[in-house]
Amino acid sequence: MKHPVLVHNADVAAVFQQIADLLEIEGDNPFRIRAYRNAARMLGTLAPNVQTMVEENRDLKELPGIGPDLAAKIIEIVATGTCALREELRQELPPAIHELLTVPGLGPRRVKTLYDERNIQTLDQLAKAARDGEISTIPGFGKRAEQRILEAVQARLSKARRFRIDTAAQIAESLVSYLRAGGDITRIEVAGSYRRRQDTVGDLDIVASSARPVRLLDRFVSFGDAANVQSHGTTRASVMLRQGIQVDARVVADTSFGAALHYFTGSKAHNIAVRRLAQSRGLKLNEYGVFSAERRIAGETEAGVFKAVGLPFIEPELRENRGEIEAAQAGHLPTLVELSDLKGDLHAHTKASDGRNSLREMALDAQRRGFAYLAITDHSQRLKIAHGLDSAALAKQIDEIDRLNEELNGITLLKGIEVDINEDGSLDMPDAMLARLDLVVGAVHGKFGLPREKQTERILRAMDHPCFTILAHPTGRMIFERGAYDVDMLRIIRHAKERGCFLELNAQPERLDMTDTCCMAARREGVLVSIGSDAHSTFDLDDLRFGIGQARRGWLEKKDVLNTRSLRELKAILSRSRLAAAST
């Protein structure tokens, strides 16, 4: 019997995002569009499941940014899987035009322009128009934009669909919970790229041990989200979920669980390297165990598998064959940073700009999480869409933070700002105001298409400002939406070291910027990384777990992360940073 469909928060978020896109294509009220985008963003990483909230008759208006209209639509989506507004909007445009919105760099406005100017409705039409030079002649595009669009469309057409880590997490966690409830499991893990914490996931691999594998797999193929059962045997099964993600399940004896988990976690290159080590010792390694002749000598645990080939345990996030084998052999594996190591968060917004909670609410939620400090970094005035603060508004907020800090016990709010880096490298706030802050988070929010040298020099000049502290989301990428701008990251990392400032690993799952390889480079150069939630509500502080996953992929230890320091240590580091800037 097929079990009822579970509506994930990501499903509701996807509907709201599509509504926002369609409204923007039609030129609707920007505030209405923004309300749907904010709701989609919040729901995308919200921990409580909204379907459960609806079933428990909880007030959805308690969620940040959700008023009566959006609450009613959430209830409608939970009940039907869609809502009338989305279906009405879909009927007003050609069906295939929605595919264009999946192309990185093509937002709703550009999709509308392409439709109006060249009647482009499909990916194939878009690719042909780009190849034929028809896009570069449209005002606002040009040759470089045309080339980027062509490359993005070709990549989109040639690659299988992938999912952001937060979407995969919602699906994986609900599936594992559902399987556990059946009672036929000894051990279970989600393996593959998900366990290695890649920022996007192509499919999910479930590894379980059970004394009743047939019953477990019967339950697996009956999962409510399963749209198509692709295979169903006695030890393995595969389903395609309605979200478009394939899930493969493998059930083994408990004595083989560790070997199977290692094998299906990968990566392929890592597995080959470990298998060669086994062969050099006269052993055979596969998903069932480590064997000497026909005798199994390891396999129940991953640690046992590694020990059998002469290695200590290697954390899943490191298993990319990027030096982890050699580091393990030399006894130099990093002790990777943990979420519990964070003492605070240095990038958060309030409703003074585009956040959804007050100073007090953000402070109390950070305190509840065990943080000693939280930096308030609302946007500066140039980012008008985010209601950025001018000097007067920032001065008012500084006074509010001072007053609130006198009342708070156990948590300190740090005074900061996310200041725009202008095209010439100047900062979007008078120096006198920046000097009053505990830290300044600089960010690029426009002019993404500057040439590599100009973009790099722009950021380097900003970093030279004596008040500059942290470079936010350093490459500007938005996963599946916008590629990284062209910038010399190694120069930026090395300049940060010379200047004495820091780089951010933005934990928003749509960003996860810095990349893992940039984190590795920062570690090699001795530049501290701040893992920032970029929270726009109290719920967004949960995103720090995704940032930790990315940091671990980048080999970062506790000592490599700025906000693992105590408040006292952090203040000393920030003070030294300003002194270093003053001396250059």
pLDDT at position 430 is: 96
For residue range 393-430, what is the model confidence (pLDDT) as tens digits?
999 999 999 999 999 999 999 999 999 999 999 999 99
Fold type of domain 341-583? TIM Barrel (3.20.20)
Count of alpha carbons within 13 angstroms of residue 65, beta-carbon side:
25
pLDDT at position 7 is: 85
Which CATH number is associated with domain 9-158?
Answer: 1.10.150.110
Contact 345, 366 (CB under 8 A): yes
Calpha distance 192→205 (Å, rounded): 6
Calpha distance 341→138 (Å, rounded): 51
Calpha distance 568→565 (Å, rounded): 8
Looking up tokens 């990384």 gives: 529
Structure-token pair, residue 174? 């609900």
The model's pTM is 0.85
Q: To the nearest whole number, what is the mean pLDDT of the chain?
A: 92
pLDDT at position 160 is: 66
Per-residue confidence band for 120, with pLDDT thresholds at 50, 70 and 90: confident
Distances in whole angstroms, Cα of residue 110 to Cα of each of 34, 126, 496, 566, 569: 17, 12, 35, 46, 47
Calpha distance 301→304 (Å, rounded): 5
For residue range 311-348, what is the model confidence (pLDDT) as tens digits?
999 999 999 999 999 999 999 999 999 999 999 999 99
| Most confident segment among 151-165, 237-251, 568-582 | 237-251
Per-residue confidence band for 205, with pLDDT thresholds at 50, 70 and 90: very high
User: Where are the domains positioned within the chain?
Assistant: 9-158, 164-330, 341-583
Per-residue confidence band for 386, with pLDDT thresholds at 50, 70 and 90: low
pLDDT at 383 over 80: no
Q: In 10 A of CB 74, how many CB atoms?
A: 25
Nearest to 436, CA basis, from 490, 484, 495, 396: 396
Per-residue confidence band for 146, with pLDDT thresholds at 50, 70 and 90: confident
pLDDT at 158 over 70: no
Contact 570, 344 (CB under 8 A): yes
For residue range 12-28, what is the model confidence (pLDDT) as tens digits?
998 998 899 888 888 88
For residue range 272-292, what is the model confidence (pLDDT) as tens digits?
999 999 999 999 999 999 999
Which CATH number is associated with domain 164-330?
Answer: 3.30.460.10
- Mean predicted confidence (pLDDT) in 385-390: 83
pLDDT at position 95 is: 66
pLDDT at position 166 is: 94
Looking up tokens 């007067």 gives: 392
